[in-house]
Structure 1
C-alpha cells in the first residue's frame, strides 16, 4: 500500500488547535482538533500557554510525519493574529503570549497617538482603528516603555503564525499578512513599516520580512519537506476565493464578528470608515483588502439566549425555524423593517424591544435576523462603495441560516448573493499558496460550493 501524498496544515485558533491533511485534490482526508489549557500572565490575565502550544506542535508534527499512511510533501500554518511570541538571545520564548483583549493603559495610549500625529491621521495611515492591545504593535510599545530591561533582552518578536513555523524550521521571519492586519505597524501609503517603528527601534526586534509563499526546507524522517512561514487566518480564508474568482466580489465571513472583505477596493480608509469599524487587511500578495466589521454573531448568540429564556424553548428549536415570507410581510406591515433600517452599526433596536410584542419565538427570531441583516447592509456597503462588485459570498455560520440569506439577497437586489461552502477555508488557503511547492496536479475547479439566493419577489 502506497502512502497518500498530503500537505499538513496547522490551523491555530484561540479555542481550537487543528491538524489537517489535504490530498492532491485538496480533499480533506484527516482532521484532529485539540483544546489546550490556558495559563495566566504576570497580572493574572488568561493567555495562551506558549510552552504547552510549542510542545503540542512538536508532538503533532512527529506523529504525522511517522504515520505510514501519509507521505507529507509540505507543511504550512494559519493562526490568529494580534499576538506576539517574544524570543530571547537563545531564540526561546521568555515572556507570556499576552492576550490581545488585555486592557491597554489609557495614558500610554494617549501619549503614543499624541506623539505620532493623533488618532485620526495615524489610524488612516496604518489602516488600524484604535483598538488597544488588538493593535499588536502597541504591545511592543508598551513593553518598551514599561519594562525596558525586558525589551532590551528581546531578540525577536514573532507574530504567532510565524512563531508556529519557527517551531519547525528554527528560522525566524516576519510576514505581511500578520504585519498588515490592524497592527499599527504598516504604513499603507508608503507600503513599509510606519515611521514610529524605526524611530522607537521596534524594527530591530523583527526578523527579515519574507514573501508569504516562501518556504524553509526542513529535513525530517529521512526526507526534506518545504515548510511555509505561516499566514494570518483572516487573510488565509480569502485565498480559496481569490484562486477561484477573478470578477469583483465581497467575501462576508460570518462568525462572532461578521467581516466584509473586498479585495477589489484599495482606496485609502476615510475618517468616516474608520469610525464605523472599517480597516484593512493585506492579501498574501501584499495588496490591501478593505474590510468592515459587525459584532453580529455575538449579538445573535446573546439574543437567542434571551428568546430561549422568554419563550421557554431550546435554542436549537428557535434557530431551526425556516425562512417564512409571510412572517416577514407581517413584520414589514408593522413597520419593523423601517425601524431596523434607521438603526446604526452600534445600536440594535431589537435589544430594546419587549419580546411580548412578537407573540411567538418564530416571529421574534425573524425580527432579530431582520435587524442583524439591516445593519449588515450598512457594514458591507462601507467596503462596496466605488467598486463594481457583482457578487457577495457568505461563509461561516450565517451562510446556513435561510432567513439571513433570503433577507440579505433582498437588501442587495443588484448583486448575486451566494452561500459559500468551503471546508476549512482558512487551512485550505494556507495549503493553496504552497501548491507549486508540492503538487503537480492543476488546482481543482470545485473548491467552493455555492448556493444562489434570488431576491424574493414578495
Structure 2
C-alpha cells in the first residue's frame, strides 16, 4: 500500500529542495538541485526560471508515478522580494529580477517626490531600505521605464504563488509574500498602500487569499490538494505559532539574525531612521514585528581574523565552550574591543584591539560583544509587549557561548533552542494541513532544548 505524503518544494537562492513528509511531518524523501544563474537584459545575474519550471514538473511527475508514495497535497516555500510577471497566456514577460539589482536613482527620486516623505513611507510599509528588495517598487520601475513591457503584464505573482500557478493555472496573492518588505502594504490601513491604487498596480495583483488556502484539483489523474505557497521566513515561524500557546519571540540565526515577534500590538517602529526594524505578515494577515542584525556575517569575518591572529585551524572556534572564569575575568573590567566590518554600532572602538594571549579569551570577548548587539535587536522586536519566552533556531542555536550568554542576560525569560533544518519546508507542509499541533511537536520534530541561566558564584 502506498504511503500518503505531502510534497513541498522549498526554493532557496542557491539550493532548490524537494521534500515528502508523512502524516506526522517526518521527512521520508528529499532531493535537491542547484542551477547556474542566467543574466537579465542588463547583464545582472538572476534565477533560471525556465530550468526551475522544468525541474518542478519533472520531479513532481516522477514522484506521482512512484510505487511507494501517494501524494495527497503539495505546497511551495521560497525566498521573498521576487515577482514573476506573466502575460495573458501565463508566460513570464521579464526575467525574474534579482533583489540585489540596483534600482535607478531617478526612479526612486520620482517615487518619493510623488509619495514621500521617505522615512514615513518606509515605516508605514514595514520596509527597511529602498531597493529592488522592496519588490513592489520593481513594478513602479517597470511601469515608468519599460511601459511596453508593463502593458503586456496580465498578473504579477510573488515567487511562491507563481510556483503554485504552474500547477493550478489560478493566479492569486497571499499575505506572507505581500508582507515581506514589498512596499505594497500599508500596515496601518491593513490594505495596499495608496500609491498602489494611484498607479493602477492593484489591477495586475491577483485576489488575496489566506496562506492556508488550498485548491483541490485533478492533476494528471490524481486528486491533489495544491497550496498557494508561502514566504520562507513566515513558513519557518509557523510551526512555533501553531504549537506554542504562550507569547514568544523567535530568534532565527544565520547570516542575518532576525528576531520575530508575532504577537505585537505596535508593529511600526517609532524610530523612523532604524533600517533594521522591518515587518512581516502571518498567514492570516496579522503583522509580525521584526528586527535584524548582520550577526552571522560579522561573526564569520571576525573569527577569520582571530584564526589568523592566533594561528589556529579554521574550525577551532567550534570547539570552544563557555567558560565561566573567562567570562568573569572579561566582565570585571569590560571594554569594547572589536571594530565591526558589516555592523554600525555607537559603542565600537575606532580600531580593533586584542590584548589577549589565548584564542579562547578573545573568542569569549567577541561573543560577549556580539550577544550585547543581539540583545538590543531582541529588545527592539519585543518593544512594549510582554514576552517571557525566547526560541533560538539556526546557526547559533548550538553555539554554547552564545546560548549561555543569552540565557544569562535574559535570565527573566525562558530560553529554548530548536534544531530546525527543515524549517521553511515543514512550515509550508503545516500551512495546508488540518492537523492540530501540540506542545510536544517541537520536542519531537525540532529537538527542543531548555536552557537555564548559569549561577553567579558569590
- Normalised TM-score (structure 1): 0.94
Does residue 98 (structure 1) correspond to residue 93 (structure 2)? The answer is no
Does residue 431 (structure 1) correspond to residue 432 (structure 2)? The answer is no
Cα distance in 2 for residues equivalent to 1:17 and 1:10: 7
CA-to-partner distance for each residue in 1:60-86, whole Å, 9 max, x for gaps? 111211111111110011110000111
Return the offset for 1:107: 2.4
Cα distance in 1 for residues equivalent to 2:259 and 2:130: 18
Cα distance in 2 for residues equivalent to 1:141 and 1:410: 47
CA-to-partner distance for each residue in 1:157-214, whole Å, 9 max, x for gaps? 1111111111111111111110011111011111111110011111111122122111
Equivalent residue number for residue 166 of structure 1: 165
Which ranges of structure 2 fall in alignment gaps of 5 or more residues?
none
Equivalent residue number for residue 31 of structure 1: 30
CA-to-partner distance for each residue in 1:375-395, whole Å, 9 max, x for gaps? 010111012121110110000
Return the offset for 1:358: 2.3
Return the offset for 1:446: 2.5
Equivalent residue number for residue 366 of structure 2: 368
Distance 1:414 1:79, change over 3 A: same
Equivalent residue number for residue 130 of structure 1: 129
Distance 1:52 1:444, change over 3 A: farther
Distance 1:392 1:274, change over 3 A: farther
Whether the 8 Å CA contact 1:345–1:378 is kept in 2: the answer is no
After the TM superposition, which residues 25-64 of structure 1 pair with which residues of structure 2 at under 5 Å, given as runs?
25-64=24-63
Equivalent residue number for residue 346 of structure 1: 344
Residue 133 of structure 1 aligns to a residue whose secondary structure is coil
Residue 56 of structure 2 aligns to a residue whose secondary structure is helix
Residue 412 of structure 2 aligns to a residue whose secondary structure is coil
Cα distance in 1 for residues equivalent to 2:122 and 2:205: 22
Whether the 8 Å CA contact 1:176–1:209 is kept in 2: the answer is yes
Cα distance in 2 for residues equivalent to 1:345 and 1:390: 28
Whether the 8 Å CA contact 2:119–2:272 is kept in 1: the answer is no
Whether the 8 Å CA contact 1:250–1:392 is kept in 2: the answer is yes
- Normalised TM-score (structure 2): 0.94
After the TM superposition, which residues 6-405 of structure 1 pair with which residues of structure 2 at under 5 Å, given as runs?
6-272=5-271, 275-336=274-335, 346-347=344-345, 349=348, 352-355=351-354, 357-405=355-403
Whether the 8 Å CA contact 1:165–1:229 is kept in 2: the answer is yes
Distance 1:248 1:350, change over 3 A: farther
Residue 261 of structure 1 aligns to a residue whose secondary structure is strand
Residue 426 of structure 1 aligns to a residue whose secondary structure is helix
Cα distance in 2 for residues equivalent to 1:335 and 1:360: 17
Question: How many equivalent pairs are there?
Answer: 452
Whether the 8 Å CA contact 1:349–1:371 is kept in 2: the answer is no
Whether the 8 Å CA contact 1:20–1:32 is kept in 2: the answer is yes
